[in-house]
Amino acid sequence: MTEANPVPPAPERAARDESSWAKNVSRLNLSSKLAGGIPGNVEGRRVSGPLQGFGQMWQKTYQVRLSGTDVEVADLIATWKARFPEFWPERNTFYAPLTGIAPGEVALLDVTLPGHMKLSTGVMVLYADHESFTLMTPQGHMFAGWITFSARREGDDVVAQAQVLMRASDPIFELGLLLGGHRQEDVFWQRTLTRLATHLGQPDAAVETSVVCVDRNRQWKRWGNVRHSSAIRSSIYMLGEPVRELRRRRS
């Protein structure tokens, strides 16, 4: 008797795993023109993990349990990737690349900060397979780190999860997190998971949140990251909008 789902040989597994990771790049490039965002805040930037950030390091985990569902993990992840922008809370926009969420692709995004300030930045798809996908931040993003979206089956239930490992990128963003940014980020991903659960037929599913401070030290040697700040650059860009609009009318 043969197995219904045989384990692929080691070389085949290795090739599959390798194809799920983004290729090593020194600087980010947009593969296609996207419908929004500020490309200049992302194009040519390096990716930035927790070791490159300034503030305290946090691990945040958000989970929603879909009880008694027959949805398969692979189908949930496929839906999440395909409809990722639709699950974001209102007044926040994710501009997905034409090829979708695939390893190495770069997306732009607009996020609303406290005070209704708009911040334009982006993310790179670090990893993506049929069970999870991970987005990594570029220089200038509000935090340096990555966020992994995954799902797993537990008996008759399926648990969808978003997990962030991050530091504030610079002293300004660190202050923003202390003044309400942490709470806003929690609400953002809680609403995202609620929208995902609603799409899958369970609008009353509760989102569980776990927050752990992994490192309370701040990396003062990284204070200079402020020169890349997408908040500062987004503000300057918005101040120049009247001039750009006038030029468009004259052209």
Pairing of strands 157-168, 143-154: antiparallel
The answer to whether residue 14 is domain-embedded is: no
Yes or no: say if 173 and 142 are a contact pair by the CB < 8 Å rule: yes
Query: What CATH number does residue 143 fall under?
Result: 3.30.530.20
Q: In which region does residue 115 sit, left (phi positive, over 0), alpha (psi from -120 to 50) or beta (all else)?
A: left
Range of the domain at 112: 38-217
pLDDT band per the 50, 70, 90 thresholds, residue 41: confident
Give per-residue pLDDT as tens, 96-130: 888 899 999 999 999 887 666 788 899 999 999 99
User: Where does the pLDDT of residue 246 fall: very low under 50, low under 70, confident under 90, or very high at 90 and above?
Assistant: low
Domain-located, residue 102: yes
| DSSP annotation of 55 | S
Q: Report pLDDT digits (tens) over 136-192.
A: 999 999 999 999 999 999 999 999 999 999 999 999 999 999 999 999 999 999 999
Q: Is residue 185 part of a domain?
A: yes
Q: How many domains does the chain have?
A: 1
Judge whether 247 lies within some domain: no
Is 157 contained in some domain?
yes
pTM (2 d.p.): 0.86
